Amino acid sequence: MFTCPAEPDCSSETFDADPDIAGIGVIAAFLISAWSSLLITSVEYSSRHSDVFTPYSGHAVRLDDLLRSYIRQFTRRMKKPWTLQSIQPIVLAASDQQLVTGLAIMAAGYIQHCTITQYHFDIVASLGGIAFIVYQPTLYALDGYTNRDPRMKLWRTILMTILFGMIIPSIFAVFNVNFLELYGASTQCVWDDLIDSHHDTTLDVLLSFNLILTIWAYIDSMRYLYPTIFRRIPRISKIVLTRFEATLRWIDKKAFEHLQSINSTYQVYIDNKSMKAFATLSHSRLIYTIITIIMRPIFWVIFVPVFTCQEVMSSHLIDIWRAYTATLAWTIEVLSIKQDAVSTGVINGSENKWGFGQILPLFLLILPAMSTWELFRETQHNGNQGGTRNSYSHEHSDYSERIIHNVFDAPSLHHLFQLQEYNERQRQAIEAQIGFTPIGVVDGARAESDISDRMYESKLFRAWAIFCTLGIFGGSTYSAIIGYGI
């Protein structure tokens, strides 16, 4: 994959410390930033109310609405000291910083491919994976806000694509059967034998699964950055639900027709004792029994798992939880491999010495923390002063709040945004605040809403959905703890 000016060292057991990559300051800065970003974005996304939020991406997630309703039962007495609108720039800035630092450390790992040890590359890949995975929940929480300025959105797309292009090869490397056999061996040894090395079934399964989830996460992120493009692509979920809806209507129609035939021919048979009426009645009863006793249960036995799988795959709360478990697994991986290297004595020197490369990442965390605190204090001050706002929020918030709480109606909003006194910036600001969805998107989703409503109106299915979700939460957490971050 790469070439080196000299033969890489593939047999070294010991290696020199590199605090600029595996130093305690670098790792601490990454982990503090990642966990803080995950916490804030998950709180914001899980606290949204479905009755006042329609996603800008045009795809409402029914399972997330159900989970939020249960979450609010435990958190309704808790009140956040901020609003999402007030901290959107800070949340995005902190996540952008995580994205840039992830790119920086991944670039360092690839640039030093001839000399970097497999021990240090494992830390690089773990920290880069954390930076990539925690950016997706930010897009969920700030749905619509990132689409206000196409130029700002473009550079985020470019950086995410570059980081994605770096993550994919690193997955092939860390799941190679020869990786980390010797901590001090050069990573180039893995690159040279990446294709010809023998395979392990467990590692191949984990490799495939991680590749699928990483590619899926990237595509989902692009769908949030460019929703107007992905809205034109038919969703598989819509096609599946449409087909199942047509099948269910056919079953109901045939059952009703034969029930009508039974009722009509039964009276004829009672009156005339006709053998023809008896034959028709028997045939209708047989077909009705087959439809109601056999075909209908078979339909639901097939449909419920498919629908459940589809809802799980589209759930952003499950994606956010996966970000938590993946970050937990990579955190455990980084800390455990560092501890193992120290305990076995294969590392020469100490990576805990505080130098410029250690102190700078930690001090960079002060910037978003200071901005968040200043914004929080400004929000409190404005509230105490009777609602004085800055020029940006003063222009839109009063009117948009009335829209949210009183007249949240898509046609009315569509007409409102056509008025000449609202320029493009005002329209985008209100869209970002309330999550406006164009009418065409609502019409496109109407075809799949009937059968979804029918499922979520069932208490049995709601209990089943909660059971499956808790099983996924518990299973993914357990796999993260034992070292499989999926």
CA–CA distance, 106 with 122 (Å, rounded to integer): 11
Residues 150 and 217 grouped into a single domain:
yes
- Cα 17 to Cα 24, 102, 111: the distances in Å are 12, 21, 18
290 and 174, same structural domain?
no
The first and second tokens of residue 464, run together, are 């089943």
pLDDT of amino acid 389: 41
Beta bridge partners of 15: 347
Q: Which pLDDT score is estimated for 375?
A: 64
- pLDDT, residue 50, reads 52
pLDDT at 85: 66
Region of 273 on the Ramachandran plot (φ > 0 left; ψ -120 to 50 alpha; else beta): left
Q: Which two tokens stand for residue 443?
A: 């019409």
β-bridge partners, 347:
15
Which DSSP category does 181 fall into?
Answer: S
Same domain, 218 and 247: no
- CA 415 vs CA 239, 440, 446: distances in Å: 31, 14, 21
Among 268, 312, 254, 297, residue whose Cα is nearest residue 465: 312
Is residue 223 located within the same domain as residue 241? no
* One domain for residues 145 and 105: yes
Q: Cα 478–484–486 angle (5° rounding)?
A: 90
Domain boundary pick from 262, 296, 311: 311
Q: Are 396 and 426 in contact (CB under 8 A)?
A: yes
| 8/147 Cα distance (integer angstroms) | 46
The answer to whether residue 397 sits within a structural domain is no
The answer to the question of residue 414 being in a domain is: no
Residues 338 and 275 in one domain: no
Burial letters for 313-323: b for 16+ Cβ neighbours within 10 Å, e otherwise?
Answer: ebbbbbbbbbb
Q: From CA 124, how far away is CA 167, in angstroms rounded? A: 10
3-state secondary structure of 458: coil
Residue matched to tokens 């609108």: 85
In this structure, is residue 74 part of a structural domain?
yes
Gap between the Cα atoms of 311 and 468, Å rounded:
11
Give domain status of residue 24, yes or no. Answer: yes
Q: Is residue 116 part of a domain?
A: yes
156, part of any domain: yes
Q: In degrees, to the nearest 5, what angle opens at C-alpha 131 toward C-alphas 374 and 350?
A: 95
The pLDDT of residue 352 is: 79
Paired tokens of 461:
């299915």
Residue 450 tokens, joined: 């009937």
Asked if residues 114 and 186 have their Cβ atoms less than 8 Å apart, the reply is: yes
For tokens 């690159």, name the residue: 191
Q: Do residue 115 and residue 260 come from a single domain?
A: no
Distance CA 239, CA 422 (A): 37
Q: Which of 269, 290, 311 is the last residue of a domain?
A: 311
Q: Is residue 198 part of a domain?
A: yes
Q: Which residues contact 70 (CB under 8 A, 6 or more apart)?
A: 466
As given in the structure block, the two tokens for residue 31 are 């982990």
Q: Is residue 93 part of a domain?
A: yes
- Cα distance between residue 457 and residue 310, in whole Å: 17
Say if residue 135 is exposed, middle or buried (CB neighbours under 10 Å; 0-12, 13-18, 19+): buried
Range of the domain at 25: 15-230+316-388+438-481
Q: What is the pLDDT along the chain (486 residues), one digit of tens a residue?
A: 567 878 888 888 889 988 888 888 889 888 888 888 888 888 878 876 554 455 555 556 788 888 888 888 877 777 766 666 667 777 787 788 888 889 999 999 999 988 899 999 999 999 999 999 988 888 887 776 776 777 778 888 899 999 999 999 999 999 988 898 889 999 999 998 887 777 788 888 888 988 998 998 898 888 888 877 766 655 677 788 888 888 888 998 888 888 888 877 777 777 777 777 778 878 888 888 898 889 989 999 999 999 999 888 888 889 899 899 999 999 999 999 999 998 988 988 888 777 777 777 777 777 766 766 766 666 566 655 544 444 333 333 333 333 333 433 444 434 433 433 434 444 444 344 433 333 333 343 444 557 788 888 889 999 999 999 999 999 999 988 887 766
Q: Are residues 329 and 286 in the same domain?
A: no
Same structural domain, 101 and 246:
no
Number of folded domains in the chain?
2
pLDDT of residue 51: 47
Distance CA 321, CA 213 (A): 13
Shared domain for 285 and 364, answered yes or no, is no
Cα of first residue to Cα of last residue in the chain, in angstroms, is: 26
Helix (H, G, I), strand (E, B) or coil at 15: strand
Question: Which residues fall within 8 angstroms of residue 328, CB to CB, at 6 or more apart?
Answer: 477, 480, 481, 485
- Tokens 């609202």: give the residue: 422
Q: What is the pLDDT of residue 482?
A: 85
- In this structure, are 248 and 368 located in the same domain? no
Same domain, 266 and 350: no
Of 311, 335, 355, the position where a domain reaches its end is: 311
- pLDDT of 155 reads 87
Torsion sign across C-alpha atoms 351, 357, 362, 363: positive
